[in-house]
A and B are shown apart, each in its own frame.
Chain A
Amino acid sequence: MSENSEIQTNPDSGNIPYFKNDPVIVLILGIFTCGLYLIYWNIKAAQVFNAVAQKELISQPIAVFAGCCMPVNLYFYYLAGKEGLPLVYARVGEKDKDQAILLLVLGFIFPMVAAMIVQGDLNKLYK
């Protein structure tokens, strides 16, 4: 798959890859594929965060292991909450909030729920 074909862009979102999903679908697919979907989800989420930040915020090869592997998922969700999501909020004109601790705790207890929260916020980019 070429780089260009895997990045579908939304005309309203500049060069941000299109990655809009229902958060409940993330939870359901995460469970029913036994974590396989989360490998894909983490790569795509890292791609979106890097595009929003316009720099390499989260390493995609590291994100592969953030689906379920501790403590890589904690690293992923901490960075997403601390640096990634504030940039998303700024882009959509929402009030800034620090989700790092919430995502860190959820990432430890139930990573799929943390993924749901991140997906919910990423979806705001495509409204």
Chain B
Amino acid sequence: MLNKKLLGIAGAVCILVIPWLIGYSSPHLESDQSLCPLKLLTGLPCPGCGITKSIYFFYQGNLDKSLAFHILGPLVVVFSILALATLVLELITHKSYFNRWMYNSRFAWTLGVGLSVYHIIRLASFLLNHSFQEIIKESVWQ
């Protein structure tokens, strides 16, 4: 259990820090090639594509651009901070909080359907606004 909590803390720290590191080390983040395996293979975004860029622009205070890259970016930041605080508190107090939500099947299916609907809309918009050549350019087959 301790191992899982430490993994969770490491994961939350990575989610919060990696976009910041990538953003500051890359001057052309907006146009940079995505490292998502699916996008590299097909040129099409996966459900999580854009979250890193979204988080970076959220840190910059540019909410419009952040939401344009991925609607969940700001929520991921809030969730990661809450998860970090909760997991540290759980390690200190030896109690578990929010387990009702973290292990709730119904909540998982609701999140899954929400993310799927968002992804379908985003994919449709992506396909409508990009030519075949532009899609191929996003992949490794260009």
- Show the binding face of A for B, using Cβ within 8 Å: 1, 3, 6, 30-31, 34-36, 38-40, 43, 46-47, 50, 56, 59-65, 67-72, 74-75, 78-79, 109-112
Contact = CB atoms under 8 A, between A and B. Distances in A.
Interface centre among B11, B18, B41 (most CB of A within 10 A): B11
B68 interface: no
Interface string B1-22: 0001001100100110010000
B109 A43 contact: yes
B105 A60 contact: yes
B108 A79 contact: no
Interface of B: 4, 7-8, 11, 14-15, 18, 36-38, 41-42, 44-49, 51, 99, 101-109, 111-112, 115-116, 119-120, 123
Nearest to B41: A31
B47 A71 contact: no
B47 A3 contact: no
A79 B4 contact: yes
Contact of B115 (A31, A56, A64, A78): A64
Nearest to B103: A56
